[in-house]
Structure 1
């Protein structure tokens, strides 16, 4: 198709450096209009999160903090200097904020001052410590405190009802009110003070302000709707009563409201713990010398900016370094406080060791841990009955000194305490709902198992009553012999006080819609919520240990409940327990990996285990040179740490690679894959498939990698054209003995390699059909004709692509085609397409471990020596979701440190800046793609430039651009080629790139193309011109 009359090559490094020159493209500036955009930035319910740290748990927590919010504020202020920063309260309570109340300045206030807050509306928790303390802390604030509906004895307000802030000639009135329910929560602290209706007070403020300002907003510590049916306790009531307001910043409910309207008034609300920042834009137009909002529908907009992406878990905003430095002394004080010893646990751990490995004791029998939690809840709520869950299967407190932060070991979350009124029937219905957690016991079962659709944190255990759970009965009929602690039976009509946490109360017990427990709509009554000034239950546990128990606790059992109906044979049960604990029987987990032990171990499984050999195959693919941890890329140190941890628990494990290991990052590329090869050696990888990018530096490099790290590349379908024989630098197969189980691996490369690497590197190679090679070598491995003898199981270790539909789970692609062929393979390991795959095609398991070490594929092999048949279970393990808690391997970290240090001088060099994000998505045309093509054209002196979207691997963020950034965008050291093309050739090339799912959308410059996606592929272009 192409007629190359002449061409020149340019190195990619030169191209990337040249590219920087075009970042400075000037932009047209629009003529100024008589409008002003006022930006309102708002936080609320920050609850002591001045730094990205959870002091109760004594761990870093980057989900939200003022230091991170400040990074976002700085960016938004730079974009629009006409910015007002406000807070809607609940700032100085929780996360150890109380330890700073007597300091000269509270860290939350210091942070707010440095960030330049204009106003701070008091929240209900500001009153927890008494008004004198609030006034002391408030006096430290450099902005204006607001609270227009709380009056002192002398009739003066505790704080101003409003203030006026002027920006760019626009006067903004800001009104602040607090929920009237503070008298319910802090009655003692508010004796002598009068709390009035916020609606009435806001009306007064509006009347006073309306002739003094151009626009009015309200910053309220009030939920969107009313609470306890208290008049004036909902923010939307104020919107209905005061249409003069342009916007309302609500708070208190800790829910994300990016923007909704009541009576034409925009309302936003933030998440708690500084997890989000609300941004409201108000466009004002000058008319007759006065600014006004011309159209409330179109000129007032809003959004929420999230510190952490809830889906990808990526951190959108890191902590501001200067503010972090200012707050470091407070951070140290809080961490030191978290490690203060508050008591001692004597007489043993709160939870005994698990009898069966993988079945948490805390969820199958009464434990002192749950009893302690319930004891605390009963004490502070004065309830009759208490319910609590084991949030984590590993939750426990061990004998010895108890630090303040140790309460988070048994109570992970910051739930608050609720008190409900229930009837005997409502209590039993709740208990039956909870008991659905267990699978129904069947004859032959030897273990208790859990419902895969129910999470462990939704299984509650009860104190204050006695009961049994008969798991031989169906759900809904399991709670038997329910009685009070004095053995008095509980009748349906009895009335009891029940203590639970806020999550259980709101999400299940009192939910008005979708209530699974009380489908008839007859709900328990809320008597009190957020008890003890809204203290977290885990903090109450510490307080109870220190103040009530005198600093000493012991494991205490009430003998008030147990599981019955599991009438298994004791001897067979003991045999099952031993096989499980020895790793010869594995307990199944739910498909999403979140619920353990989802099916019972049976007598039949015990008999089968006696004649079964097991092995696990961990496979990673398309690692692409990832050295350092960065977002979802966990890096060498944690990747090795995670796999070593698995191998320690599962000794019969082999780790293999499905290719494309080395090429892809600056540190790896600069060192020709050496850091990755060092990693491969640490992981004791015996074999690897050959990926297309293994050829990027020539075949000599492939042989050197294998020799240096002591493994074999496998490729049964790559032949030398000159000799007609398989290549010498790779073997067609390898048999690995795993505890007596012989596993044969056959290597297969994708035929796409011929055109998915530098052509000159593979011009002397032939890539034969994978199906033919697989059939040939499977037959040899299973016949026993090879020197190593017969393989029990044969697995194709490939760099063949595959995809899996997220809904139907259907697998397609090269690996699926291989499975459909009659090859005799037992399983297939895939790669190349950077997908998560775990399933079967034609009863043959296929796995692919996504990309860049973010996870791995796993084949769990169970080979029956009696029948000579193998059962192979495919799965995918996502490491990226646990990136924070993954173990760091010391030897692997040394590898990272070595190469990072050696590469830093070049990679950290800032060579340019950009004032906008250069975004890229290979599924469409992009800013970065067009810019790259413009540079290619300019560098080569061409009219038109074209590249595939998949060749650009990431976007470039606004700010400084380093050499390392450019390597991430273009990691493959490709070169530029120029050629003369006819118009028909150009059209065909661009047609091929429109909506190309394999290599990404074509990126172009120098030509304007119009296309119609409704037309057939290859005939979509309707117009093309220079």
Structure 2
């Protein structure tokens, strides 16, 4: 087995376009071998490149585009390997509403076979439809299906394999597949899941490496999990523990979190892509004659503007599935909406469906209560833009407001448990601060966890910290007391999550035979045309958004015009300076004007380091007998407090060591900190920030990991 690392030197590149030039095989030196590994993940049934909710082709995603790209890479380098990291058979109307019920000639294995995947690693959503359905789909693919940490009762691999060995150009590459062991947390009640054992990923990888022995030159791990822990305290669901425990690993592919991620730590190449086959992660390895890795690069490649592979679309199972799904939607008007169900957003990008009670939430809640007979139910707005527009409604519209194939459970809860659940859901908002002109959302808690409750009346006081927000809860006109007993209806995912969080303790009493989407379809058939109804059973309190303040109106006008970014995860606060704008986001920097330098505004350099983080203008600051600035470095020091009134201002010619080179700029020295002008920061960083009316504005590309929602 190959064990020697390549001097801990890794070239890392991030690409958003498909740029292929000279053949890498032509560039190989004597005895060298070049390997290319392409990874997909979280494609979620998007084969064609089509939005069934909107009934139109997409422009930058789908396996058909990935297939075109892979074919071109294989022409460039025959030593190419293709791996999928899971969440592959769920996510569209095609996969969830048609082919989960009749798996005959399933389009997903047909696509994997056509594209010649070398390995398919299972994801958590593979278990959404039960184990038997998954087995029926697996049986249709010629691709090795890997799940090293999922075992049958007898200890054997669930899929029959934990790893596979692929040979390219005389190099043997072992691909080990593992997935998040949290599957029972979400799908523990699905058919057959309780009969399986889900082990620590790192332990399973270590066992495979021992079993492989000297049988491979390169070890790749493809994991349907993020780098950091999701729920575990021991790292069982964190891919980082694989690197920590298994130094033999040469390449790591991540999945599950729907995030663009490329490592830059100089160890081994680690990459992850966003969902829906909108990009792939590409690794290029060079091995010498002794089959030791001498260099490696990792990049993500966008599928934007890539032409779909018509050959894949013409595969009979795929073509039939597409036609069948489109017909299922467009040829079946299920009913009509009498009016739009969601109010217009006051601020672009801030969904009113998460800020007030709306007809979409109340519709889903009504359907869930009627089908379950429960006292109370919970509903999340899974998609910020979900709406039912006035006019004809089809199955795509039902998918738009309820995107997951969930079923319903009922469970008995106490009033105390109910309140604890409501507080848990209310953590999805940030605490309101005096001066905030909008309500914003907690970036650490995804929108699909933001439940609203039907069957109770309540208030959410956002002036209070998380855990203390739910007030004045009543059930059927009476205050909800801790010792009251209620029947709660939630979807299957939420039930297992609440149980694992220790928020509820009761056992499932009832399970629906139909999915929530099917219930919505049936309800629509009986209530056509569908009227938007809002009972306003809850409201947000404890905030003063200064609705009549013209300064607020001016900010909102700029947001709605696209001049400022949506304040989604941090509210705009009128008590802050808001004098630095980076990529449309507002930041506050301590500033000053020196009478000796006219009206030039100077900004505290350390505040700019905070504001520029996460962009290509990012920089780190340290002190080594002078100011040392490292372009691209991550500034980790805590934000500084505003300077005290009356602090002396001194003019200074500041020499900054920038990436080892001394650069001189004009500055102000105030309270031991240096302040620079727009001209100064541009000189230091080689950027083009502009100051006008005291506001410094910078537009810079985003650098480093992106953001996304796990699922």
TM-score by length of 2: 0.58
CA deviation after TM superposition for structure 1 residue 285, in Å: 1.4
Corresponding residue number in structure 2 for 1:92: 89
Seen in structure 2, the aligned counterparts of structure 1 residues 151 and 333 have a Cα distance that, compared at 3 Å, is: same
Corresponding residue number in structure 1 for 2:517: 542
Alignment of 1:488-567 (within 5 A): 488-489=478-479, 541-546=516-521, 552=527, 555=531, 556-558=533-535, 560-561=537-538
Q: Is the 8 A contact 2:463 2:542 kept in 1?
A: no
CA deviation after TM superposition for structure 1 residue 377, in Å: 6.7
Corresponding residue number in structure 2 for 1:371: 362
Corresponding residue number in structure 2 for 1:112: 112
CA deviation after TM superposition for structure 1 residue 463, in Å: 2.8
Corresponding residue number in structure 1 for 2:192: 190
Q: Is the 8 A contact 2:417 2:503 kept in 1?
A: no
Corresponding residue number in structure 1 for 2:282: 279
Measure, in 2, the Cα distance between the counterparts of 1:564 and 1:423: 20
Seen in structure 2, the aligned counterparts of structure 1 residues 381 and 152 have a Cα distance that, compared at 3 Å, is: farther
CA deviation after TM superposition for structure 1 residue 428, in Å: 6.7
Corresponding residue number in structure 1 for 2:577: none
Seen in structure 2, the aligned counterparts of structure 1 residues 501 and 169 have a Cα distance that, compared at 3 Å, is: same
Q: Is the 8 A contact 1:37 1:282 kept in 2?
A: yes
SS at match of 2:228: coil
Specify which structure has the higher proportion of helix. 1
CA deviation after TM superposition for structure 1 residue 304, in Å: 1.4
SS at match of 1:189: coil
Q: Kindly indicate whether residue 313 of structure 2 is the aligned counterpart of residue 324 of structure 1.
A: yes
2:299 to 280, 289, 303: 303
SS at match of 1:85: strand
SS at match of 1:300: strand
SS at match of 1:286: coil
Greater RCO structure (CA 8 Å; 6+ sep): 2
Q: Is the 8 A contact 1:452 1:589 kept in 2?
A: no
Seen in structure 2, the aligned counterparts of structure 1 residues 27 and 203 have a Cα distance that, compared at 3 Å, is: closer
Corresponding residue number in structure 1 for 2:456: 465
Q: Kindly indicate whether residue 352 of structure 2 is the aligned counterpart of residue 333 of structure 1.
A: no
Measure, in 2, the Cα distance between the counterparts of 1:595 and 1:498: 40
Q: Is the 8 A contact 1:432 1:475 kept in 2?
A: no
Q: Kindly indicate whether residue 249 of structure 2 is the aligned counterpart of residue 250 of structure 1.
A: no
CA deviation after TM superposition for structure 1 residue 163, in Å: 1.7
Alignment of 1:810-825 (within 5 A): none
Q: Which ranges of structure 1 fall in alignment gaps of 5 or more residues?
A: 1-23, 308-314, 441-449, 510-523, 567-585, 597-804, 810-994, 998-1026
CA deviation after TM superposition for structure 1 residue 176, in Å: 2.0
CA deviation after TM superposition for structure 1 residue 279, in Å: 0.9
Seen in structure 2, the aligned counterparts of structure 1 residues 179 and 434 have a Cα distance that, compared at 3 Å, is: closer
Seen in structure 2, the aligned counterparts of structure 1 residues 479 and 193 have a Cα distance that, compared at 3 Å, is: closer
Corresponding residue number in structure 2 for 1:199: 202
Q: Is the 8 A contact 1:423 1:495 kept in 2?
A: no
Measure, in 1, the Cα distance between the counterparts of 2:342 and 2:194: 52
Corresponding residue number in structure 2 for 1:485: 475
Measure, in 2, the Cα distance between the counterparts of 1:557 and 1:173: 56
The alignment yields a C-alpha RMSD, in angstroms, of 5.7
Corresponding residue number in structure 1 for 2:74: 77
Q: Is the 8 A contact 1:111 1:323 kept in 2?
A: yes
Corresponding residue number in structure 1 for 2:631: none
Seen in structure 2, the aligned counterparts of structure 1 residues 161 and 418 have a Cα distance that, compared at 3 Å, is: same
Q: Could you give the per-residue CA deviations for residues 926-981 of structure 1, whole angstroms, max 9, x where no partner exists?
A: xxxxxxxxxxxxxxxxxxxxxxxxxxxxxxxxxxxxxxxxxxxxxxxxxxxxxxxx
Q: Is the 8 A contact 2:38 2:283 kept in 1?
A: yes
Measure, in 1, the Cα distance between the counterparts of 2:281 and 2:393: 40
SS at match of 1:592: helix
CA deviation after TM superposition for structure 1 residue 49, in Å: 0.5
SS at match of 1:253: coil
2:35 to 28, 33, 38: 38
Q: What is the number of equivalent residue pairs in this alignment?
A: 513
CA deviation after TM superposition for structure 1 residue 562, in Å: 6.7
Corresponding residue number in structure 2 for 1:798: none
Q: Could you give the per-residue CA deviations for residues 629-666 of structure 1, whole angstroms, max 9, x where no partner exists?
A: xxxxxxxxxxxxxxxxxxxxxxxxxxxxxxxxxxxxxx
Q: Greater Rg, structure 1 or structure 2?
A: 1
Seen in structure 2, the aligned counterparts of structure 1 residues 36 and 460 have a Cα distance that, compared at 3 Å, is: same
Q: Could you give the per-residue CA deviations for residues 251-301 of structure 1, whole angstroms, max 9, x where no partner exists?
A: 222222223669x554322212112211112221123xxx223x5xxx233
CA deviation after TM superposition for structure 1 residue 491, in Å: 7.2
Measure, in 1, the Cα distance between the counterparts of 2:231 and 2:28: 53
Q: Kindly indicate whether residue 59 of structure 2 is the aligned counterpart of residue 62 of structure 1.
A: yes
Measure, in 2, the Cα distance between the counterparts of 1:202 and 1:71: 32
CA deviation after TM superposition for structure 1 residue 97, in Å: 1.0
Q: Which ranges of structure 2 fall in alignment gaps of 5 or more residues?
A: 1-20, 544-552, 564-579, 585-685, 689-711
Q: Kindly indicate whether residue 240 of structure 2 is the aligned counterpart of residue 241 of structure 1.
A: no
Seen in structure 2, the aligned counterparts of structure 1 residues 351 and 422 have a Cα distance that, compared at 3 Å, is: same
SS at match of 1:216: strand
1:208 to 206, 211, 215: 211
SS at match of 1:77: helix
